[in-house]
Amino acid sequence: MRKLNDILVKTGREAFYEIVPAVVHTLIGSAVLIPVLIFLPVAVSLILLPLIYMPLVYGAFYAYHMRTLGEASGVRAVFRGAVKGFVPAAVFGLFCSLLALILVSTWWYYGGRSGVFYMAIAVFQTYFVLMALVSQFYTLQLVLQKEMGIFRAMGESVKLMLRYPAYTLGAFFQAFFLGLLLTVTVVGVLAIYSGVLAVYLHEAADNVLNPDQDKDEQAKRAQGLGTLPGNVG
């Protein structure tokens, strides 16, 4: 398996060389995200974002996946992916909305109460939500790369997290802090985050789905070096 730093470096390199597609793919989703967050009530946003925004994010993931397969990965690929992956993306988005609702309601109810007991409940609920979110780190990539149904992918994602706990936590927080870093520029999250995340999640998931791939590549490189004139004998 490759190290997370190697994946992050490759993500940065891919984003640099493919900056225009990354920006375009992200802006498609942001065109929906911004009006929903600004003009609609929170309750309505929690319903519309999974049904509209998440399929477009999935479309960005789909477009990058098509690029890795050597197929067209333009704007049409984003919308094609959004339509094709509407159900898994919407289910995943509703799941995330449910977790957000649990987190907000927990701190709204217990956070305002005094006492260690209430604070302990709020912290435990926060930990529960965080672990539930981390456990689904690979879900959409399993739908894309392994063509699984959404519920089977959610179950397999939990298994992968339990198999690679340290790697999954590290990858999750790297993705989170990458978004946090782009938030400093404000425009960065709305302009490029989905496109960069598509690269990062694809590479991070591929690393656990094909753990021997790096060893095979190293063996091929070593074999190639062995055939050079200077390495004979």
> pTM value?
0.82
Look at residue 28 in the predicted model and tell me its pLDDT.
77
**What are the angstrom distances between the C-alpha of 129 and each of 2, 90, 96, 208, 223?**
28, 19, 9, 23, 47
210 conformational bin, left if phi > 0, alpha if psi -120 to 50, beta if neither:
beta
DSSP for 148-203? --HHHHHHHHHHHHHHSHHHHHHHHHHHHHHHHHHHTTSHHHHHHHHHHHHHHHHH
Q: Say what the pLDDT of residue 227 is.
A: 44
pLDDT in tens, the chain (233 residues): 788 878 878 777 877 677 777 777 777 777 777 777 777 787 788 888 888 889 889 998 999 899 888 887 788 888 899 999 999 999 999 999 899 889 988 888 887 778 788 888 888 999 999 999 999 999 999 999 998 999 999 999 999 999 999 999 999 998 888 877 777 665 555 567 788 888 889 999 999 998 776 655 555 444 554 444 444 43
Task: Report the distance separating Cα 34 and Cα 198, nearest Å.
Answer: 20
Give the per-residue pLDDT at 233: 37
Lookup: tokens for 187: 């425009």
Please give the pLDDT value at position 117.
86
Name the 3-class secondary structure at 131: helix
Q: Tell me, what's the pLDDT at 182?
A: 72
Report the SS3 class of residue 20.
Answer: helix
C-beta of residue 34 within 8 angstroms of C-beta of residue 190 = yes
Give the C-alpha separation, 101 to 90, whole Å: 16
CA-to-CA distance for 54 and 90, rounded, in angstroms? 6
